[in-house]
Amino acid sequence: MPEYRLYCFAQSGNAYKAALLLALAGADWEPVFVDFFNGETRTPEYRALNAMGEAPILEHGDLRLTQSGVILDYLARRFPDFGPTSEEERREILRWTLWDNHKLTSCIATLRFQLKFLPEEKRLPEVIDFFTRRSGAALRVLDRHLFHRDWIAADHLTTADLSCIGYLYYDHEFPHDLTTFPNIDRWRQRIAALPGWRHPYDLMPGHPLPPGVLS
Amino acid sequence: MPEYRLYCFAQSGNAYKAALLLALAGADWEPVFVDFFNGETRTPEYRALNAMGEAPILEHGDLRLTQSGVILDYLARRFPDFGPTSEEERREILRWTLWDNHKLTSCIATLRFQLKFLPEEKRLPEVIDFFTRRSGAALRVLDRHLFHRDWIAADHLTTADLSCIGYLYYDHEFPHDLTTFPNIDRWRQRIAALPGWRHPYDLMPGHPLPPGVLS
């Protein structure tokens, strides 16, 4: 059996954060498909794995970890190239990972879910508008931060970059044109050029969705 | 000058997370009032302190830290009673701090802002309804977690508790009745009984708001 097992699905940017680290590190891992769109994360069996009812979950030996930020932190200790080289960098990685959870991923993921995965009659226009503005503000903060910087928290790619990039390759699925954020756009291409990089739809199972699964 | 300076204001649950740790630890600290409701966090001067434009900010010697989760992490190293005693606890603290940022604080704070700090004509009913449901789901996850547990991540109060409690003493300002979450309610009273505890409106400057400040 592979050393690492990641419960994930192709549409999950949170799972992608961990899957991409494993891919870039050349780790010995396998994805375990989570059938999110058929309600698997709401079953008692899945809640027994993760009471928060979320993907991803990482299994490594006897350890089972949840929350993408915890998994990234754990993997960065196993693959130190993706971690900090000083206490200051450690704090900076934590800072941007928290910010991502609070301001970027949470808004982009909700926005995309409304637009891409809900049938039109269930979409909430005011909520879509709210998250479009919120995520736009977050993208502006990140774009300014990446001015004259290659990476978010250090002079190399760290788990802070992997956290913030989670949903940004699904960019035809939310209303922001990322080419209008030039520093984000270059950083995104920089990551996509790394050996081992793959798009979330290629890296994790479950794409495309079977017809009618969302109806 | 006191050893720690915390940029904060009474209405900020994120600032309260750090202020409460300083209070419970008996630290030598002072609050520095941030005039959020008059737009101070949007000024160039404040953005120079924190490009993310958020409170709180902690100053300690030459260090200046932002993001409540980073500040809590830093203070737990100075006051280890609030930190982990094992690697497993460290991960558990991180897990609940990230979850709080993603699922609890972000929803409760937005909901309360809409209901308490926006004039009626600017409120977005669909957004309020959305965040009421989201934050209700988060409270149910936390309430289940606290069943048969005194503290969130260890056998003692840690920064994970301080993160999750951030907005939960402002409970007349959002539509959830916390007494209907019995485990949360007991945990909230447990924290309020600790020596040094103070309500956010007593602990930080700026309450009550001057009349008309929000118009």
ipTM field: 0.95
Span B87-95, mean pLDDT? 97
Residue A214 lies in a domain: no
Q: What is the pLDDT of residue A50?
A: 87
B112 and B174 in contact (C-beta within 8 Å)? yes
Residue A215 lies in a domain: no
pLDDT band at B105 (very low <50, low <70, confident <90, very high): very high
Probe site for chain A from B98, B127, B159 (most A CB atoms < 10 A): B98
Helix runs in chain B, H state only: 13-25, 44-49, 68-78, 87-99, 105-112, 125-145, 159-165, 182-192, 200-203
- CB-based contact, B183 to chain A, within 8 Å: no
Residue B93 lies in a domain: yes
Residue A213 lies in a domain: no
Q: What is the pLDDT of residue A169?
A: 98
Residue B61 lies in a domain: yes
Which of these, B139, B97, B210, lies nearest to A102 by C-alpha position? B97
Looking at the structure, do residues B70 and B142 belong to the same domain, yes or no?
no
pLDDT, one tens digit per residue, over A188-210 is: 999 999 999 999 999 999 999 98
Q: What is the pLDDT of residue B127?
A: 97
CATH number of the domain within which A117 lies: 1.20.1050.10
User: What domain count does chain B have?
Assistant: 2
Q: What is the pLDDT of residue B44?
A: 93
Residues of chain A with pLDDT under 70: 214-215
Looking at the structure, do residues A56 and A126 belong to the same domain, yes or no?
no
Q: What is the pLDDT of residue B81?
A: 98
Distance CA A128, CA A134 (A): 10
Q: What is the pLDDT of residue B49?
A: 87
Looking at the structure, do residues B69 and B153 belong to the same domain, yes or no?
no
Q: What is the pLDDT of residue B53?
A: 83
Q: Is the pLDDT of residue B54 over 80?
A: yes
Provide the domain limits for residue B31: 4-81+199-203
Residue A42 lies in a domain: yes
CATH number of the domain within which B65 lies: 3.40.30.10
Probe site for chain B from A64, A71, A102, A111 (most B CB atoms < 10 A): A102
- CB-based contact, A183 to chain B, within 8 Å: no
Q: What is the pLDDT of residue B5?
A: 98
Looking at the structure, do residues B88 and B155 belong to the same domain, yes or no?
yes
Looking at the structure, do residues A66 and A88 belong to the same domain, yes or no?
no
Looking at the structure, do residues A91 and A182 belong to the same domain, yes or no?
yes
Looking at the structure, do residues B88 and B174 belong to the same domain, yes or no?
yes
CB burial of residue B99 (10 Å; 0-12, 13-18, 19+): buried
pLDDT, one tens digit per residue, over A35-68 is: 999 999 999 999 988 888 889 999 999 999 999 9
Looking at the structure, do residues A115 and A89 belong to the same domain, yes or no?
yes
Q: Is the pLDDT of residue B215 over 70?
A: no
Looking at the structure, do residues A44 and A96 belong to the same domain, yes or no?
no
Probe site for chain A from B71, B94, B141 (most A CB atoms < 10 A): B94
Looking at the structure, do residues B48 and B102 belong to the same domain, yes or no?
no
- CB-based contact, B140 to chain A, within 8 Å: no
Q: What is the pLDDT of residue A211?
A: 79
B91 Cα to chain A: minimum distance (Å): 6
Position A208: which residue type? P
Q: Is the pLDDT of residue B214 over 80?
A: no
Number of inter-chain CB pairs under 8 A, A vs B: 74
- CB-based contact, A42 to chain B, within 8 Å: no
Compare all CA atoms of chain A with the CA of B93 and give the residue at the minimum distance.
A70
**Residue corresponding to tokens 């789901």:** B137
Q: What is the pLDDT of residue A29?
A: 98
- CB-based contact, A106 to chain B, within 8 Å: yes
User: Residue B70: which of A65, A98, A141 has the nearest Cβ?
Assistant: A98
Order of all β-strands in the sheet with A29-33? A29-33, A4-8, A57-60, A63-66
Q: What is the pLDDT of residue B52?
A: 82
What does the DSSP assignment read for B109-167? HHHHIIIIIS-GGG--HHHHHHHHHHHHHHHHHHHHHTTT-SSSSSSS--HHHHHHHTT
